[in-house]
Amino acid sequence: MKDFLRKLELPAFIKDPRLTASVIIILALSLLGSIVGMIMNPLFGLAMVLIFILTLAFTVYGAYVLAGNANNFAVNLSYRIKRSEQEAMIKMPLGILLYDADRQIQWVNPYLQLYLKDGDLIGRTIESVDPDLNKLIDETIKAKTSENHIVSWDNHQFEMVVQDNLGVIYLLDITRYAKIEDKYRNELLAIGQIFIDNYDELSEAMQDQQLTSMSSYIQNKLSNYAQKFNAYLKRIDEDHFLLLVHMQDLKQMEKDKFSILDRIRQETSRNNMPLTLSIGIAFGSDSITEIADQAQSNLDLALGRGGDQVVLRQPGQDARFYGGKSNPMEKRTRVRARMVSQAISELFKDADRVFVVGHASPDMDSVGSGIGVVKIARLHGVKANFVLDVTKTNYDVGRLIAKMQQEHEDENIFVTPTAALDEVTDNSMLVMVDHSKYSITYSKALYDRLKNRIIVIDHHRRGEEFPENPMLTYVEPYASSACELVTEMVEYQQQGTGKRVLTDLEATAMLAGITVDSKEFSLRTGTRTFDAASYLRSIGASSLGVSELLKEDIGSFLERTHLVATLKMVRPQMAVLCGPENKIINPIITAQAADTALDLENVEASFAITRRSKDKIGISARSMGEINVQLIMEKLGGGGHLSNAATQIAGVTVEEARERLLQAIDDYEKEEE
């Protein structure tokens, strides 16, 4: 009876109120029919009672059978689930390992046993069985990532989960999917733009046969190079090519360091027709349009840095540079100088005010070129000023300002940053001279106010930090100085108006700027440098005046001498000068000390390290041309020219900056090898 009652215990789904009500109603109707039958006819009523009793019995029996079947089903289902769990742990492609507090293996499922390849595992430590697996466990625990940790082990890729508190490791083999992902990434498209830097100038001096030969040479060299790396090359202009390549092949090009640059430069130089290439390559986006636009932007950056180099960058990421080992070639034609001079005149006419700004701690080149731009703007009737606090200048700039005030030639040329901010309007224009990095501009607040109305005139190699949408860009790394570029612009203004743009003192200041930045016409000096100097002399610049402006005071001379006295050779032909830790030294003196070191025997490159402020260390780098100090400074966050570069490092000591410099030099030498 107890067994019957136990089995009669109904499952939950039978206890549904709606089903119970239906059964009760059927039984009630049967009982009611029996009672009515007894009243109408005893025999009929007796038959109805028998039917009711049978219905009740079948109902009870059916419930008993249904309860038993339901219980059997539940037991069978539970057994199958547990059996499936056991089978899954043993047979599914998921490695499971249990270990104790000492990392001794307590249990391993057969799937993971296949990877461990050792039958006797229980009781042994994980490190003794497989040291690599033990390291991966430590790395996964340290990662503390919410997502499954991807690891490489035994030539396979796994998703690894470690529950160290429970002593359980789960390893899911995702090698197949990792290969699919790698294949997808390797076959992503990269787009490149290739430009022949000086094709136009060389072609002008060539006969048709020579030009055809040169064109065929370039086509063959580039085609062979593209074929070597399974890339598609299409010539879209005389000096312009389109390159399409998969990422896996682009990586091989990077490993090759884009040797095509050196090959073409060296072979064409031997044939007296030196050619260089600029290449911009972009990748890493699902949008082909975005990649193509980025490739063009990368090419512009390569050209702005002087050409003969490759710039790789994906949208939103930092650029990688290759090449850039040679000095930019001087452009013998002044077509662009004339076009820029005309364009800047038109832009000035549409502005109600022009502000010219140099870099922080402006030198003679920065101030001289700024004065030249101010006078060009005033020539067209536009109010213009150079932004400078005349009470806080270097000794040579201070001497120039004193002379201008003495001769009443300042004409309110200078305006303080505060006054400029008060007078600026939405229709004003900002001209950045002798720099293009907005982080080192003289007035960052003024830059932020006019960042959509900017003109850049610079002779340094363009870096990644550059105004986003300048109205006009004139960056020529071949030039000796910003004063050289502005002098050519002044010359075209002079020809166009017949009016004298510069006074004798202003022309002298610009000649002094060229003298300073070219190290007295010994570095980065081309024929156009001498042409600019000759023009300035013809309109009143004085060599004696330049000497007077650039005279060094005794204090600066002694400070520079003490800095040069710290010189130590850290590599063959490389010297480092270190200033005192607790003394702030003027960056001009630091640069002059680096220049002075180049005058010493066996010194091909010099690096002067001094404190610039309480929390910043500055490094000025100079080279005779064989060593590319620009690449070294870029590794430290700076930039400049192949032979003239600098950087600033925050939050370090002079000695720490020296160690970072030596590491950057090591990296540079490894890349050169």
Decide if pLDDT at 524 tops 80: no
137/105 Cα distance (integer angstroms): 13
SS3 of 374, please? helix
The answer to whether 382 and 353 are in contact (CB under 8 A) is yes
SS3 of 268, please? helix
Taking residues 557-571, report their average pLDDT: 91
241/232 Cα distance (integer angstroms): 10
Token output for 523: 């570095």
Count CB-CB contacts under 10 A for residue 616.
Answer: 14
What stretches of 410-451 show up as alpha helix (H) in DSSP? 417-423, 444-449
Count CB-CB contacts under 10 A for residue 72.
Answer: 10
How far apart, in Å, are the Cα atoms of 207 and each of 195, 210, 380, 559?
22, 5, 43, 57
Which of 59-73, 441-455, 573-587 is the least confident region?
Answer: 59-73
444/387 Cα distance (integer angstroms): 11
With bands split at pLDDT 50, 70 and 90, how would you rate the model's confidence at 637? confident
Decide if pLDDT at 241 tops 90: yes
The answer to whether 95 and 115 are in contact (CB under 8 A) is yes
Q: What residue has token string 């002067």?
A: 608
pLDDT of 206 reads 77
With bands split at pLDDT 50, 70 and 90, how would you rate the model's confidence at 525? confident
User: What does the pLDDT look like over 412-423, one tens digit per residue?
Assistant: 889 999 999 999
Decide if pLDDT at 7 tops 50: no
pTM of the model: 0.66
Decide if pLDDT at 381 tops 80: yes
pLDDT of 5 reads 46
User: What does the pLDDT look like over 396-444, one tens digit per residue?
Assistant: 888 899 888 888 766 688 999 999 999 999 999 999 999 988 888 999 9
469/472 Cα distance (integer angstroms): 9
What stretches of 144-207 show up as alpha helix (H) in DSSP? 175-186, 199-204
User: What does the pLDDT look like over 66-107, one tens digit per residue?
Assistant: 667 767 766 666 766 666 666 655 566 788 888 888 888 888
With bands split at pLDDT 50, 70 and 90, how would you rate the model's confidence at 124? confident
pLDDT of 147 reads 62
527/536 Cα distance (integer angstroms): 14
Decide if pLDDT at 41 tops 80: no
With bands split at pLDDT 50, 70 and 90, how would you rate the model's confidence at 112? confident
> Which letter does DSSP use for residue 145 in this model?
-
pLDDT of 145 reads 64
Q: How distant is the alpha carbon of residue 129 from its chain centre? A: 43
Taking residues 252-279, report their average pLDDT: 86
- Residue 247 burial (C-beta neighbours within 10 Å; 0-12, 13-18, 19+): middle
SS3 of 645, please? strand
Cα four-point dihedral sign 278, 280, 281, 287: negative
Which of 118-127, 247-256, 364-373, 601-610 is the least confident region?
Answer: 118-127
SS3 of 383, please? coil
Which of 87-91, 118-122, 655-659 is the least confident region?
Answer: 87-91
Taking residues 52-64, report their average pLDDT: 72
With bands split at pLDDT 50, 70 and 90, how would you rate the model's confidence at 225? very high
Taking residues 565-591, report their average pLDDT: 91
640/619 Cα distance (integer angstroms): 12
How far apart, in Å, are the Cα atoms of 197 and each of 202, 322, 430?
10, 16, 29
> Which letter does DSSP use for residue 616 in this model?
E
Taking residues 569-578, report their average pLDDT: 92
pLDDT of 655 reads 93
* Top-confidence residue, 360 or 431: 431
Helix axes 482-497, 335-349, angle to 10 degrees: 70
User: What does the pLDDT look like over 384-395, one tens digit per residue?
Assistant: 999 999 888 888
Domain annotation for the chain: domains and CATH numbers: 2-88 (no CATH), 92-181 (3.30.450.20), 192-323 (3.30.70.270), 335-549 (3.90.1640.10), 555-672 (3.10.310.30)
Query: Terminal CA-to-CA distance of the chain, rounded, Å?
Result: 96
Taking residues 488-510, report their average pLDDT: 83
> Which letter does DSSP use for residue 440 in this model?
G
* Top-confidence residue, 13 or 455: 455
* Top-confidence residue, 148 or 135: 135
pLDDT of 335 reads 75
Decide if pLDDT at 25 tops 90: no
pLDDT of 9 reads 54
How far apart, in Å, are the Cα atoms of 517 and each of 274, 435, 563?
26, 13, 20
614/653 Cα distance (integer angstroms): 10
Mean pLDDT, the chain, whole residue set:
84
Rounded to the nearest 10 degrees, how much is the dihedral formed by the CA atoms of 504, 510, 511, 512?
110
> Which letter does DSSP use for residue 438 in this model?
G
With bands split at pLDDT 50, 70 and 90, how would you rate the model's confidence at 292? very high
| Long-range CB contacts for residues 83-86, cutoff 8 Å, separation at least 24 | none
Token output for 588: 């001009």
> Which letter does DSSP use for residue 463 in this model?
-
282/192 Cα distance (integer angstroms): 6
139/258 Cα distance (integer angstroms): 36
pLDDT of 618 reads 92
